[in-house]
Structure 1
Amino acid sequence: MTLKHKCLLILSLFPIISQVCTQTLDYKYYRALDYDRNYVMGWRFNDTHIDFELTVNTLGYVGFGFSDVGLMNPADILIGWISEGNMYLGDYHTLADSRTPYNDTSQDWVIQDGKEVNGTTILRFSRQLVTCDDGDRPITKDRIQLIWSFGGEDPELSNGLVPYHGETKRGSTSIILLESDVMPTSFPPANTFSIPLKNHEYIIPATGSTLQCIVFDLKSMIPEGHLIKYEADITPGNEAFVYRMNLYKCDLNDPSLTYSRFECENEAPNSVKSCKNIVATWSMGAQSFHFPENVGIQIGGQNDASSYVLEIHYSKYQETIDQNGVPMAIPDSSGLQITYTTSPIAHQAGMLELGKVISPGWRQIIPEQENSFTSTSVCSPRCMNWGFATDKTPMKAIAVILKGNDVASAIKVRHFRGNRELPWITVDRKFSNFHQAPRLLTTPVTIEPTDTLMVECTFNTSTRTSITVGGWSRVEETCRATVVYYPAKPFDMCLSWSSYDNLYSTNGTKIPEQRAAAFLGNVTQWDAPMKQQLRNALETSSERSICSSMTRQPAYAIDRYNLPAGSVAYKEPDSSCVTPLV
């Protein structure tokens, strides 16, 4: 190995040096960035700044930064260490064609504290969320890719060389820094218990996608209480195959179904298929989800629903082969672990599923070879009012889980009151289906019974050679958002599909609404004119909203909706960097 692979040359030596101090700083969030907890990150933020604490199992240097795809170049990076009572910290960037760290024009990291203790280095520092430095990535509510590393030795101050960290002391992770889950300071409250709900010894198919449904009876298993936390419990080694899990509750009133397992779409009874009152939802990349203090979903006891259905989506697109070239059977006992308390809570929460209907009759269509194709679902004011039933107390949205598949690139939850759009409830412009973590809103959002909610999804199909249709598998697409809110309403889902009542063929003929789905299904050439006709139809056609509840009769209502004429879209505050006039 040549010298340049063993060391990195820092262009411009380390410009920030500070005496070590001993502050006591409290961080709201903590996350281990590696499985062995050798690298633990704490952080906190306000409207303008973010503070970090890195606790790393080394007495050498610590690397940290932000990257587009988890690689060292191009990236926005920081390198720091402790030496002879001083903390050294440098603000750098790398270019697309080089791993050499270049000194940023502006040194924007501010040292707060640093020390070495018991073989561990602790660095604390802060930065503005948006620095206006070309070498810095802005920190927003979007998903961000962190890169990290650490070495066994300090860099050489005399020549600027940083010893290579090696293959095992580096990594990357996706994270949402500004809307991340947080454990309440009072967690766990008194009288807190956990119970696993698992799919025992299921054999994952060799390839493809499948949905498994397992029925449980929590009414007889646990006393009346409230769900305050849930997390995935995945069989070790199967993390790449368990894609998504949902826990629903409903009154099946059939004891013979308890502990039964079905393929959800083709084998499950209709009563199991229609059980859709969500109480927990997890997707790949998420960790645990804690409800805020004094908030939880009612579960258990004699007044609870008779049944819970755990739905697990397995996704496996390549056979697992043993050393002899023989396909391996992969047994799985994954599921969710739920944590509940029997202590009183102040706010009973609910989950509302928003997004596009997934049904063969109302197929979502996304053309191939598109860098940015947008699809929008609507929960209309009349559907919202129906969902609130007799309790018109506003909802307080406290968290959102965004859901898409392989070609989803951005998801936004929009919020209208009358013809004026309010600030977006949440947005992720860098969405990844490998990181669908819950987003805990920093400030609860008030939702009135006559508001309009929309889920806007953008898709990138530039690598696909045929259309993508709506569906759960990763070769299909979904556009969903689960809103966690309180107080709970008898309101499970509010989904929609386009009526295509303003669809035209490329020769200018208007397609009748009742024939639109068949017409689109028979299109064989999705050329530019046909793609434009689809775009026009989606933008100008009415949307059909369907709102539903497992606890009401009738159990659903359907509405037809267009945004009011003259509606004013929300415009984000300008955060661009402007050079002041001299």
Structure 2
Amino acid sequence: MNLLIKIFCLAAILNLSETFQIYADVEKYNVKWEIDGDLITFSIEAETTGFVGLGFSRGGGMSGADIVVGGVRNGVPYLEDRHAISRSTPILDEEQNVELIEAFENDTHTFIKFSRKLETCDEEGDVAITEDTISLIWSFGATDDLVYHGANRGSRSVNLLDPQGPENPDLSKYKVWELRTVKAMPAADTTYWCTIHKSPNVPRKQHIVGFSAILESPSAYVHTHHMEAYLCHVPPGMESVFETYLNHTGEDCYYPDDPDFPGHFCESIAYGWAIGGEVVLFPDHVGFPLVSGEYFKLEVHYNNPNHLNDVAFDTGLKLYYTEDLRVLDAGRIAIGSEINFTQMIPPNSEKFVTVAHCDVSCTAELPENGVALFNFLIHAHLSGKKLKVRQFRNGEELPWLINDEHYDFNFQATRPFRKEMRLMPGDHLALAGGRTGPPLNHPSDTDPIVELPLEMQGRTFSQVVESVNWTPEVREFYQKVTRFDRHDAYCRPSGVQVKVGYPPHGEDYVPGDVCERRRR
């Protein structure tokens, strides 16, 4: 399981409203929602005069989903709180935890507005709305009879509580620097392809204020899974080598044919986009410095499960910048595990946790008053299902910095923090990634990059792993070692290498139980 989290930092306090609106559009179904305290209100417009359904699903399908069905039947508005236990007619909840505000229809469309609590405490029928990734599932029927909806359905992963920027931002006022890759995608399941780029020639420092993906064709949308731009640290006398590769088609990031390709000098993550991400604009007083003559490596993850040949398309990143400097410079911190053979999940595992640390050796040089955090991006491969960043300070675990209990590999947006989170000198961060679910039959079944070409006395690494007698005792020991033993940590760019594990602290942080408080 490859884990990574990238956090954007600035030296200022952010004020984020607790009330905001965001929109999700599909062809014949539009939904918008608004948060106010512990209440969420949905407004739906659907091209039908029959029933309209909206569901909240942790896994993306109907099974286990919390579903609301409403409409106008014989001139009378109605709304029902239901849940699904399979791909069949949703069951009416014993507790009705939705409130109909209004519902009406015209000759072609139905309009519904309703509200519910974020946490209804109905464990049987409802799904809590939290900061986790969740799938909105939707459907509508030709009549108000609750029968199979046919093709009138869909789903979309969202983060319902995340504050959002403007719906249609004006990007014309910014200059654009493109890190573009033009290539025929390799005919392999997964390819990480790297190219070298150079920052534009600017007369003085500029500020990068946002970025977006270059996805100009259907193939680019389908086959570009994620991209990252890395800042290169060029050794003295190596500029000519980097210049050679500026107009180069690139190399496989991990197995380059050209031994002189300088990608290994580029390890500081600068910008990242993943499937599900949209245009990202930073707060109005924050910008990332841009100067002339810096080299960057663009790493593109091509996803080609059908091994298609000769599919060529443009992809990459657009960086938006301005000469009107913002008040504050921003920076980045990345926490994660390097990809190697120790990133292994034993065969037939239902649960497993991987941990990475960022300790005081990395945070000691922060400003005395610390830094405020405004955006984050979490990333793991297919076997990652839960991701959490724990924060420790002065022997105490603080509330979790980031927590997503339902991470979706196919939805990895750059997300804003809902409220100010601060990182102080001496803080310790621990990234914990876990998988749950059906047993893995093979240590690399769901993570192609773990399939390393290692040979051990004539056997591959996977064969060696499968040959181990994974008794419950061996599994428990291996999990304990990988989770709680000391790790080799490397702090870039300082180059500090340390042995690190969880710091001494009191009780582990446990979030408050809203439902328990209500029952008192």
With the length of structure 1 as denominator, give the TM-score of the two structures.
0.74
- Per the TM alignment, residue 473 of structure 1 is displaced from its structure 2 partner at its CA by 2.1
* Map of 1:294 onto structure 2: 285
Q: Percent identity?
A: 24
- Alignment of 1:546 onto 2:501: no
Structure 1 residues 558-569: aligned runs within 5 Å: 558-569=497-508
Question: Where do 5+ consecutive residues of structure 1 fail to align?
Answer: 1-25, 156-160, 321-327, 477-516, 550-554
* Map of 2:139 onto structure 1: 149
Aligned to 2:191, which of 187, 205, 210? 210
Contact 2:387 2:433 in 1 (8 A): yes
Aligned to 2:310, which of 329, 354, 358? 329
Contact 2:268 2:492 in 1 (8 A): no
* Map of 1:506 onto structure 2: none
Q: Alignment partner of 1:138: what SS? A: coil
- Alignment of 1:312 onto 2:300: yes
Hey, what's the Cα distance between the residues in 2 that align with 1:192 and 1:65? Answer: 39
- Alignment of 1:112 onto 2:65: no
Structure 1 residues 139-538: aligned runs within 5 Å: 139-153=129-143, 155=144, 161-162=145-146, 164-167=148-151, 169-179=152-162, 182-184=164-166, 187-188=169-170, 191-200=173-182, 202-220=183-201, 224-234=205-215, 235-250=217-232, 252=234, 253-254=239-240, 255-260=243-248, 261-267=250-256, 269=260, 271-299=262-290, 303-320=291-308, 328-359=309-340, 363-386=342-365, 388=366, 391-460=367-436, 462-468=438-444, 473=449, 524-538=468-482
Amino acid at match of 1:345: R
Hey, what's the Cα distance between the residues in 2 that align with 1:125 and 1:339? Answer: 38
Q: Alignment partner of 1:535: what SS? A: helix
- Alignment of 1:90 onto 2:80: yes
Q: Which stretch of structure 1 is more off in the superposition, 524-533 or 214-223? A: 214-223
Contact 1:63 1:79 in 2 (8 A): yes
Distance 1:117 1:203, change over 3 A: same
* Map of 1:509 onto structure 2: none
- Per the TM alignment, residue 421 of structure 1 is displaced from its structure 2 partner at its CA by 0.5
Contact 1:192 1:340 in 2 (8 A): yes
Aligned residues: 481
- Per the TM alignment, residue 83 of structure 1 is displaced from its structure 2 partner at its CA by 6.5
Contact 1:248 1:280 in 2 (8 A): yes
- Per the TM alignment, residue 558 of structure 1 is displaced from its structure 2 partner at its CA by 1.2
Deviations 1:186-230 (A, max 9, x none): 944883244543211x12222232211122222238985333332
Deviations 1:153-172 (A, max 9, x none): 4x1xxxxx2364331x2111
Q: Alignment partner of 1:65: what SS? A: strand
Deviations 1:12-59 (A, max 9, x none): xxxxxxxxxxxxxx9521122x3x3x3222222244121222233344
* Map of 2:457 onto structure 1: none
Q: Which stretch of structure 1 is more off in the superposition, 84-93 or 136-145? A: 84-93
* Map of 2:10 onto structure 1: none
Contact 1:39 1:56 in 2 (8 A): yes
Q: Alignment partner of 1:226: what SS? A: strand
Contact 2:78 2:103 in 1 (8 A): no
Q: Alignment partner of 2:401: what SS? A: strand
Hey, what's the Cα distance between the residues in 1 that align with 2:281 and 2:223? Answer: 24
Hey, what's the Cα distance between the residues in 2 that align with 1:330 and 1:462? Answer: 34
Hey, what's the Cα distance between the residues in 2 that align with 1:193 and 1:296? Answer: 14
Hey, what's the Cα distance between the residues in 2 that align with 1:357 and 1:89? Answer: 50
Where relative contact order (Cα < 8 A, 6+ residues apart) is larger, the structure is 2
Question: Where do 5+ consecutive residues of structure 2 fail to align?
Answer: 1-18, 453-460
- Per the TM alignment, residue 443 of structure 1 is displaced from its structure 2 partner at its CA by 0.5
Contact 2:350 2:439 in 1 (8 A): no
Contact 1:373 1:458 in 2 (8 A): yes
Q: Alignment partner of 1:411: what SS? A: strand
Larger of the two Rg values belongs to structure: 1
Q: Alignment partner of 1:106: what SS? A: coil
Amino acid at match of 2:449: S
Give the superposed CA RMSD. Answer: 3.2
